[in-house]
Amino acid sequence: MATSLDLWTIILIVSLSHSFFVINLLFIRKEHHRQEGKWLLFLLLLLFWLQLEFLSIRWPFEVLLNLFYGTRHGSWLIMGPLFYFYLKSLIGISIAKEEYLYLIPFFLFSLLFPLFLQDFLSFRQVHYGMLTPFDKRPDTINLWQYVYSSVFVGQFLYLTFFLYKSRLLIHNYQEKLKNTYAEIEEGNVKWLKVLWNGMLIILMLATLFLNLLFFTEIYRRHMDYLYVIPSSVLVYTISYKLFGVSLPRPENGGKYQKSGLKAEVAKAYEAQLKQLIEKEKPYLKNGLQLKDLAENMSVSTHQLSEVLNKHMKTTFFDLINSYRVEEAKLKIRKENQYTLLHIAHESGFSNKTSFVNAFKKFEGKTPSQYLKNQN
């Protein structure tokens, strides 16, 4: 236990003050009334609790409240589900009823069992670490002490499982966007990856801390900050963009396997689509979406998406941008008196970044390199 306030403890107090401010701001702005705001609030409360718990250990005064030692009871068991639920709500996917079962381990090990089990952690677990039952020192260990040492490790594995699920969720979301939009604003979509990377860093540093502690048996108090300070940084990161996240919603379609679209009908739609694109050049329109082409062809967005993905082996995003790149190449060769940004807009791109990324994907070089080769 710390005997005086040091610089690190003061930093933690400042971080806690900021977390408290952000949580109150969520209530003031009534963000918790929205689905994603509710899960974000729970996630911030958890991070606040973990920081407060750590401060209670470093505090120069003894804190006897058992609630502030939840890490030993597996409080991280809820971090993965909360993060996963927040991402799902943020991108507009409802949470299935059976997914709430993911919360059961937390309620059992962190809240319920500690209420009825008295002194179920050994002295060495409390003062020298939860992994002490697995070391070689002689000690009297009961079943529950072994169980909670396993839970202590298992909570980080549980978070790993949800980070894997969250990564798949982000990947599938991006793929769905490509079947809805011809251009995707990377800023807010990238926000999902920033959050995921933040959680991954915390998990990796917590794992590093546990490995150093268990395999080297070297412990210094400042080592705890390996994973505590990054959790504070994550709160600052979330608050930086707390009310500025507005993610595009992709079209929701059923599985193609259940579709009644016959091969000959799909072939006819494919021919109709190519004729529409080559004759009317809808790709020159900024902000073009899948539904725009579907309405023009008098088909459903789901049917058109199936034609693109299953029969043409492409996405709406790639199809439209391939035509835009070809248009830009033609303009570069014939209208080289204009700037590349002007040519990008004339070819249907709304910004330079989308133009450069698409050009590199389909041509393997930037527009500037292509222009230089032409000259």
CA 68 to chain centre: 28
pLDDT at 148: 78
Per-residue pLDDT band for 92 (boundaries 50, 70, 90) equals confident
pLDDT, mean of residues 357-363: 92
Kindly tell me if the per-residue pLDDT of 106 is higher than 70: yes
Q: What is the pLDDT of residue 360?
A: 93
Per the structure block, which two tokens stand in for 184?
């995707």
- Report d(CA 39, CA 41) in Å as an integer: 5
pLDDT at 3 over 50: no
Quick one: which of 353, 349, 356, 363 has its CA closest to 181? 349
Query: What is residue 108's DSSP assignment?
Result: I
**Mean pLDDT confidence for 102-130:** 78
Q: How confident is the model at residue 258 (pLDDT cuts 50, 70, 90)?
A: low
Q: Is residue 46 pLDDT above 80, yes or no?
A: yes
* Residue 14, pLDDT score: 87
Confidence category of residue 231, pLDDT binned at 50, 70, 90: confident
The pLDDT value given to residue 122: 66
Three-class DSSP category at 112: helix
Secondary structure letter of residue 289 according to DSSP? B
**pTM of the predicted structure, to 2 decimals:** 0.82
Q: Which pair of structure tokens corresponds to residue 320? A: 């439209």
What is the reported pLDDT for 28? Answer: 81
Tell me the pLDDT tens digit for each residue of 164-181.
999 999 999 988 888 888
Cβ neighbours, 10 Å, residue 27:
12
Q: Dump pLDDT digits (tens) for 49-87.
A: 888 888 877 665 666 666 667 777 888 999 999 999 999
pLDDT band at residue 333 under the 50/70/90 scheme:
confident
Once rounded to an integer, what is the mean pLDDT over residues 242-256?
65
Share of the chain above pLDDT 70, in %: 81
φ, ψ for residue 289, nearest 5 deg: -125, 165
Q: 3-class SS at 181?
A: strand
Model confidence band, residue 262 (pLDDT cutoffs 50, 70, 90) = confident
pLDDT of residue 367 exceeding 80 = yes
Average pLDDT, the chain: 83
Residues 130-151 have a mean pLDDT of 70
Instruction: Go through the domains of the chain in sequence order and give each one's CATH number.
Output: 7-240 (1.20.1070.10), 262-374 (1.10.10.60)
CB 257, CB 251: distance < 8 Å? no
| SS3 at position 209 | helix
pLDDT in tens, 279-332: 999 999 988 999 999 999 999 988 898 899 888 999 999 999 999 999 999 998
- Distant-in-sequence, close-in-space partners of 155: CB < 8 Å, separation ≥ 6: 74, 75, 76, 77, 79
Residue 363 pLDDT more than 70? Answer: yes
